[in-house]
């Protein structure tokens, strides 16, 4: 594949900066979706009717019938106030593309352009899928699947920006790329609130909650095999208004993240039992609630092989980087991989201090040189997938 010309890069950079300036939260991506639709329509594409609220797909057909492969991009931003000084920084207070979804959308548009340029070379269809609400729960992937976004699709690919790696590097891993994530809340209640001077006459819900929290932190690696990654993190603790009143209710919560489902299920049950037992011991009522569990992203072998070979062929052997350990973060691309084979690729996006801030940081930014490279790679992967699939069928 020839290198994209400077006009292609400039087109992508301009789009990414516009999207970055106008971030929208999950299932609220109305301006974002319309801008993407307009950009694609101006270039001769035909976006589908809306799906899952603000989502949609664009199909690029080859010159003859054949299989269908999908490339997915997420569209939503995070509730973070941007702290960069970039001229294209967010114009929306309290919202920011701090996870690279502006780049994901831009790359998806680039994939559409490059796939159409090569339509005479493949049989079948490249479906570019624009998904709302990756960052919220319930998230957008199940809604897109329910709306039929995967109808007829035999495999799906995606990227995620990676500020820990330099531009030009692409990370690949067979199996678990991310952890399964189970958000949870623990509520400790008692009708026996009281004066802080006499805690023995009350049920000290703050103390009980803190005892439960401390015990939960001991579970990963003590009741589970330490070789099976598990992380429990408490991120919120609420209760009481006055400094001299023991509150009647305290709530805390966080996330449980595990690479394998067996460990996750075991720890969910253990959390319920430990919290309930401590509550009973100290005469408090305890409720444990788990939100929807986000499954792990599990990349399939053949799709990882194809993407790795494409990166090596396009950019040289140093471009393809094996990922040794899964991320303990979550990604709702996992839902697609429960339905069909696929692969998420980590895309290096750093080139200096300003582009090395971690994901979800208020100063997150990326080197825009990653945009055309990622578009080239993923268009090539889709092209190879269709040709490989067509060859197997013939």
Q: Kindly indicate the confidence band of residue 1, based on its pLDDT and cuts at 50, 70 and 90.
A: very low
How do 153-166 and 64-74 pair as beta strands?
parallel
State the Cα–Cα distance between residues 310 and 312, nearest whole angstrom: 5
Map out the domains of the chain with their CATH numbers. Answer: 6-178+297-393 (3.40.630.10), 182-290 (3.30.70.360)
Strand blocks (E) in the chain: 56-61, 64-74, 123-131, 153-166, 170-172, 175-176, 180-189, 194-195, 230-239, 245-246, 249-258, 285-290, 298-299, 320-322, 342-350
Q: Is 60 helix (H, G, I), strand (E, B) or coil?
A: strand
Identify the burial level of 272 via C-beta atoms within 10 angstroms of its C-beta, where 0-12 means exposed, 13-18 middle and 19 or more buried.
Answer: middle
Token digits for 53? 């609220």
Question: For 195-203, what is the mean pLDDT?
Answer: 97
Give me the percent of the chain exceeding a pLDDT of 70.
99
The number of helices, as runs of H, and strands, as runs of E, in the chain is 9, 15
Per the CB < 8 A criterion, the answer to whether 128 and 73 are in contact is yes
> Is the pLDDT assigned to residue 31 strictly greater than 60?
yes
Residue 316 region, left (φ>0) first, then alpha (ψ -120 to 50), else beta? Answer: left
Q: What is the pLDDT of residues 206-237, one digit of tens each?
A: 999 999 999 999 999 999 999 999 999 999 99
Nearest CA to 119 among 45, 20, 208? 45
What pLDDT is recorded for position 394?
A: 65
Per the CB < 8 A criterion, the answer to whether 200 and 308 are in contact is no
State the DSSP code for 38: H
Give me the percent of the chain exceeding a pLDDT of 90.
97
Q: What is the pLDDT of residues 92-151, one digit of tens each?
A: 999 999 999 999 999 999 999 999 999 999 999 999 999 999 999 999 999 999 999 999
Count other Cβ atoms within 10 Å, centred on residue 325: 10
User: pTM of this prediction?
Assistant: 0.94
Biggest CA–CA distance in the chain, Å, is 82
Nearest CA to 171 among 326, 49, 296, 287? 326
State the Cα–Cα distance between residues 9 and 111, nearest whole angstrom: 12
State the Cα–Cα distance between residues 383 and 9, nearest whole angstrom: 20
């Amino acid at each position: 594949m020839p290198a994209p010309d400077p006009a292609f890069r400039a087109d992508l950079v301009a789009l990414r900066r516009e999207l970055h300036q106008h971030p929208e939260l999950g299932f609220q991506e109305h301006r974002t979706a319309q801008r993407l639709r307009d950009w694609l329509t101006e270039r001769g594409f035909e976006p589908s009717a809306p799906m899952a609220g603000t989502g949609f797909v664009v199909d690029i057909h080859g010159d003859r019938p054949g299989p269908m492969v999908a490339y997915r991009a997420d569209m939503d931003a995070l509730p973070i106030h941007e702290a960069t000084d970039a001229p294209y920084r967010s114009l929306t207070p309290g919202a920011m593309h701090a996870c690279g979804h502006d780049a994901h959308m831009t790359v998806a548009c680039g994939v559409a352009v490059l796939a159409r340029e090569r339509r005479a070379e493949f049989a079948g269809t490249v479906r570019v899928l624009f998904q709302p609400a990756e960052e919220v729960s319930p998230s957008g992937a199940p809604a897109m699947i329910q709306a039929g976004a995967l109808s007829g699709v035999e495999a799906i690919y995606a990227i995620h920006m990676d500020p820990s790696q330099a531009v030009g590097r692409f990370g690949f891993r067979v199996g678990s790329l991310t952890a399964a994530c189970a958000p949870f809340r623990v509520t400790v209640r008692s009708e026996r609130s009281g004066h802080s001077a006499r805690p023995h006459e009350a049920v000290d819900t703050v103390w009980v909650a803190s005892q439960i929290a401390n015990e939960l932190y001991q579970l990963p690696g003590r009741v589970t095999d330490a070789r099976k990654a598990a992380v429990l993190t408490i991120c919120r603790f609420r209760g009481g208004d006055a400094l001299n009143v023991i509150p009647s209710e305290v709530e805390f919560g966080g996330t449980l993240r595990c690479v394998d489902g067996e460990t996750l299920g075991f720890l969910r049950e253990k959390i319920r039992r430990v919290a309930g037992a401590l509550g009973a011991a100290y005469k408090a009522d305890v409720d444990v609630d788990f939100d929807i569990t986000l499954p792990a992203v599990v990349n399939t072998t053949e799709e990882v092989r194809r993407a790795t070979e494409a990166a090596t062929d396009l950019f040289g052997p140093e471009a393809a980087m094996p990922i040794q350990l899964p991320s303990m973060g979550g990604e709702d691309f996992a839902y697609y991989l429960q339905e069909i084979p696929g692969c998420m690729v980590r895309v290096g996006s750093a080139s200096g201090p300003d582009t090395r801030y971690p994901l979800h940081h208020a100063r997150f930014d990326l080197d825009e040189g990653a945009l055309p490279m990622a578009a080239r790679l993923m268009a090539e992967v889709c092209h190879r997938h269709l040709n490989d699939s067509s060859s197997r069928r013939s």
